[in-house]
Structure 1
Amino acid sequence: MTRASLDKQPHEVASMFDDVAEKYDLTNDVLSLGQDRVWRKAVAQAVDARPAQKVLDLAAGTATSSLPFAQTGAYVVPCDFSLGMLRVGKRKHPHLPFTAGDATKLPFKDDTFDAVTISFGLRNVQETDRALRELYRVTKPGGRVVICEFSHPTWAPFRTVYTEYLMRALPPVARAVSSNPDAYVYLAESIRDWPNQPALAAKLQDAGWSKVAWRNLSGGIVALHRGFKTV
């Protein structure tokens, strides 16, 4: 198995990420032209983790996204369903409490976390709505969710150019730097087929989140959605 299909069977997606784990962070840096660092900084600011708060970083992969939360003094739990990603992450950051978990059946009690966040992983979950409800369940009343995900550029001419990059330029670039370039064909397709900003906001509201809002990063290539759990 070299790539997953868009019906997102969990075992296929997990296996795909196992295959790319070793060079995942490097590949993302190259394919995003370094923008992934800007996006991670925006996520950290939106989550606004504080000392002693508990933060769930879902689809954390190797925990590159978790480090900014840990640096604030928060207790961050990197969670992912790819054991390959978790193994690479644990080797790099042995002090973090890596946890294997499925986004649709999280291994945590109700009302556990002050903040929950997922970056570039929600579109890989087979049941998006169920995952959003699970995130709501494990969040404390008054807590917040921050979702960073690829989205739809707001300017139509740029959207056309971006789509061409995804489907034409991304695969050959991935072949040069990734251990499993075919996986990035799936990733490009999953980005293209993902709901736009208002549609994802509606899904958050349907899952119970309130005060849902979003802002675009990099012209809408990425959108940052945030919501709160009612006290």
Structure 2
Amino acid sequence: MTPSSAEDPNRADLGKDPKRVSGMFDEVARGYDRTNTVLSLGNDQLWRVATTRAVAPRKGQRILDLAAGTGASSVSIARSGAEVVAADFSPGMIAEGRRRHTGIPNLSFTEADATALPFADAEFDAVTMSFGLRNVNDPKKALRELLRVTKPGGRLVVCEFSHPPSPSFNGLYRFYNDRILPVVAKTVSSNAEAYDYLNESIKDWPDQATLSSWIRDAGWTDVAYRNLSFGIVALHRARKPAR
């Protein structure tokens, strides 16, 4: 535990205690989407479009958007006419999502722990998780849970921060995260320490190939990924084996 996490009970650290992480997201829920847009220089909207296209939602399908936050990605998926369940373990995020998106009939919000999902086996045609797997204290278990609730032949899409393969670009990216992001976060976020944790968790997260191996080991097939924004983010895709 870092000194700052000892002072603030909601300052998450790399131990990823669920209560701390949930409390941290509760604190930033109201301005979360705006802050992300500023800190990502608008790239978050491009990542959302790429994720929705990879999910390829269709009317009549049932889709789980895990770690949905306030539901920005869920709304994008729901525009297809699919029934979307936006799930998150932060009550603050869920409350903010419900407040913003109550008028969308095919979108519902529920609190859920990624390592013990409150859904039946083979319930969803597709499952997706954007920038949330990194915050789970047992991501491999979460990948197995996502497999459990997906129908045979169903799709997995995980959009997550990763590691740019170019050493020169990676150096620029690290400079931005270490020097510029903290200054901007103090200006635009209600909890700048949450974005200190963001930087720490990105550094600690495995690269594209390692996450692909985790997905494969969890039981998914047809595992592949492609880099977005020069590898700052990677979009991972897979399928549940058909019966």
TM-score bin, normalised by smaller chain = over 0.9
TM-score for both structures, normalised by structure 2? 0.94
1:4-30 per-position Cα deviation (integer Å, ceiling 9, x unaligned): 010100000000000000100000000
Mapped contact 1:120–1:148 kept (Cα < 8 A): yes
| Residue pairs, 1:1-231, within 5 angstroms | 1-94=9-102, 95=104, 96-231=107-242
Mapped contact 1:57–1:76 kept (Cα < 8 A): yes
1:134-165 per-position Cα deviation (integer Å, ceiling 9, x unaligned): 00000000001000000000111110111121
The unaligned stretches of length 5 or more in structure 1 are none
Mapped contact 2:10–2:21 kept (Cα < 8 A): no
The unaligned stretches of length 5 or more in structure 2 are 1-8
Residue type of the alignment partner of 1:4:
A
Mapped contact 1:58–1:103 kept (Cα < 8 A): yes
1:63-114 per-position Cα deviation (integer Å, ceiling 9, x unaligned): 0010111100000000000000011110001143100000000000000000
Residue type of the alignment partner of 2:96:
V
State the alpha-carbon separation in 2 of the partners of residues 167 and 56 from structure 1. 33
Displacement of 1:192: 1.1
Mapped contact 1:122–1:149 kept (Cα < 8 A): yes
RMSD (Å) for aligned C-alpha atoms: 0.7
Mapped contact 1:55–1:75 kept (Cα < 8 A): yes
Q: In percent, how many aligned pairs have the same letter?
A: 58
Mapped contact 2:88–2:111 kept (Cα < 8 A): yes
TM-score for both structures, normalised by structure 1? 0.99
State the alpha-carbon separation in 2 of the partners of residues 74 and 216 from structure 1. 26
Residue type of the alignment partner of 2:85:
V
State the alpha-carbon separation in 1 of the partners of residues 63 and 224 from structure 2. 20
After superposing on structure 2, the runs of 4+ consecutive aligned residues of structure 1 that deviate more than 3 Å are none
Residue type of the alignment partner of 2:229:
S
State the alpha-carbon separation in 2 of the partners of residues 54 and 79 from structure 1. 13
Mapped contact 1:2–1:182 kept (Cα < 8 A): no
State the alpha-carbon separation in 1 of the partners of residues 174 and 148 from structure 2. 35
1:163-185 per-position Cα deviation (integer Å, ceiling 9, x unaligned): 12112211110010001011100
State the alpha-carbon separation in 1 of the partners of residues 12 and 179 from structure 2. 18
Displacement of 1:2: 4.4
Secondary structure of 1:98's counterpart equals strand
Residue type of the alignment partner of 2:22:
A
